[in-house]
Amino acid sequence: MPEHHVNDPDTEPVLIEAIPTLKFNQEAFSSIEDTQCVICLADYKEREILRIMPKCGHTFHLSCIDIWLRKQSTCPVCRLPLKNSSETKHVRPVTFTASQPLDESHTSDRNTDIERHIEPTAVNSIQPTSSESEARQ
């Protein structure tokens, strides 16, 4: 049976090369758990080149993470995406305005429907204004 690899077309070699690198220095790493590549489980050696994930700061051997990123576009430790979905798709903020007052008995049902509808696609958290918070109480 052929081996199946999941290739992520969004992780282009140019994008991988843009991720910063650093030379390992024992004194610069504060804890012992930061001194091991979680992909190959080998300890980092002095002056070894590591790649540091820009969003979460996790570090890996250059060759280990480059192979990983050709197949996945997330950090192997915390699964944060390499790119924001807003970088690949243009997402505009959502604003709600009520043109007429809602009947109190239907308010909670409508709010639940709105939240259920936008939750999977919302990138930014939506914070109600103080007047909206008071209206819900």
Q: Which residue has the higher pLDDT, 95 or 77?
A: 77
Q: Which residue has the higher pLDDT, 91 or 69?
A: 69
Domain 13-84 top-level CATH class = alpha beta
The length of the chain in residues reads 137
Give the E-state strand segments of the chain in sequence order: 21-23, 49-52, 59-61
71 with 82: CB under 8 angstroms?
no
- Here the tokens at position 18 are 């843009």
pLDDT tens digits along 17-34 = 889 999 998 887 766 667
Is 50 exceeded by the pLDDT of residue 91?
no
Backbone angles phi, psi at 68, to 5 degrees: -60, -45
Is this model's pTM higher than 0.75 or not?
A: no
Q: Where are the domains of the chain?
A: 13-84
